[in-house]
């Protein structure tokens, strides 16, 4: 069932609407909202950044699988595919015309301006979910292994859920990197467990990653009692808690980056990851070499680089 969770009037007779699709057990679909409190609820959220589209496929696939076997649905699945609909329509990371990152204005203010009001309504609607997944992609420059990022303030609550999510990597980061104005922090601070997923690349859909995460979502729903149908086995992720575990590689010169290793590769110190070339002079400017043994979990996708541009991240040691 489609619901409008927030709307506001725009110039020239336009209306901005943020909508969700609520999927419920067939025998409860006619019940009032007050009758839903006994059911477990999971919220699938994406589209905060308009240039991050990986979550669109996940929303489709979760809904498709449930509709294919509605008899197995025993709880509530709320799907929010576009928290920033104008951003998605215009392929813009932030909110168009405001030059504003929507993920920097939560929890919002119901009496504030349009964007603060929308943020507060989003929090109001999602709050109280038994679990929320906030799905992001990387930007257009980098491609990422499916991963969940958890700040250490909420590790005890979130890690057990993250382990069931079928991602490759769980990155637990320190409180110094926490942005309190994000959707995930605001929900976690309001006792709504929220996992932040990063995967793929901006402005694209990586079907393989979408299917991988969808399998994880159904495993989570099985654990929560929301789904009683069959689920696929999930992979055991690598977990990193120490910031020194991750080596960052930045471009030593400007030019065109030609990658020679794909993300997900295991590397030895000295392995070539890519080359930076000068197309005008036909010259090799720099070979990009792995400084440590480890797992290449981020790599540059967009080839034009400036000196200092991030090229790769390597998790030190053997992937286990």
Q: What is the pLDDT of residues 118-175, one digit of tens each?
A: 999 999 999 999 999 999 999 999 999 999 999 999 999 999 999 999 999 999 988 6
What's the pTM? Answer: 0.94
In this prediction, residues 215-236 reach a mean pLDDT of 98
Mean pLDDT confidence for 195-199? 98
Mean pLDDT of 20-45: 80
- Written as six digits, the tokens of 128 are 């109280």
The token pair at 233 is: 């086995």
What pLDDT, in 10s, does the model give residues 54-74?
A: 999 999 999 999 999 999 999
pLDDT in tens, 63-108: 999 999 999 999 999 999 999 999 999 989 999 878 899 999 999 9
Quick one: pLDDT band at residue 30, thresholds 50, 70, 90? very low
For residue 248, report the phi and psi dihedrals to the nearest 5 degrees: -105, 135
pLDDT by residue (tens digit) across 265-301?
999 999 999 999 999 999 999 999 999 999 999 999 9
Question: What pLDDT band is residue 12 in, cutting at 50, 70 and 90?
Answer: confident
Tell me, what's the pLDDT at 176? 61
Lowest mean pLDDT across 26-30, 145-149, 228-232: 26-30
């Amino acid at each position: 069932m489609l619901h409008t969770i927030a709307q506001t009037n725009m110039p020239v007779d336009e209306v901005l609407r943020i909508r969700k699709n609520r999927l419920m057990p067939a025998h409860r679909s006619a019940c009032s909202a007050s009758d839903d409190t006994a059911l477990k609820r999971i919220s699938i959220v994406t589209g905060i950044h308009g240039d991050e589209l990986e979550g669109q496929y996940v929303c489709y696939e979760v809904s498709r699988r449930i509709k294919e076997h509605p008899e197995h649905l025993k709880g509530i699945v709320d799907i929010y595919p576009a928290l920033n609909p104008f951003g998605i329509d215009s392929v813009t990371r932030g909110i168009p015309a405001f030059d504003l990152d929507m993920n920097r204005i939560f929890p919002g203010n119901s009496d504030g301006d349009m964007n603060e009001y929308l943020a507060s309504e989003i929090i109001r609607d999602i709050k109280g979910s038994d679990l929320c997944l906030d799905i992001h992609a990387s930007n257009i420059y980098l491609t990422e292994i499916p991963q969940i990022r958890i700040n250490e303030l909420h590790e005890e609550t979130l890690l057990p859920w993250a382990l069931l999510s079928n991602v490759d990597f769980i990155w637990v980061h320190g409180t110094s990197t926490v942005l309190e104005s994000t959707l995930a922090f605001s929900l976690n601070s309001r006792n709504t467990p929220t996992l932040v997923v990063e995967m793929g690349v901006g402005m694209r859909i990586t079907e393989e990653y979408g299917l991988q995460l969808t399998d994880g979502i159904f495993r989570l729903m099985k654990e929560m009692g929301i789904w009683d149908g069959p689920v696929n086995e999930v992979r055991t992720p690598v977990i990193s808690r120490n910031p020194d575990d991750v080596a960052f590689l930045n471009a030593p010169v400007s030019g065109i980056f030609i990658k020679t290793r794909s993300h997900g590769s295991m590397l030895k110190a000295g392995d070539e990851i890519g080359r930076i070339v000068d197309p005008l002079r036909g010259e090799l400017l720099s070979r990009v070499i792995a400084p440590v043994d480890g797992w290449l979990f981020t790599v540059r996708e967009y080839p034009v680089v400036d000196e200092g541009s991030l090229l790769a991240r390597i998790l030190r040691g053997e992937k286990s």
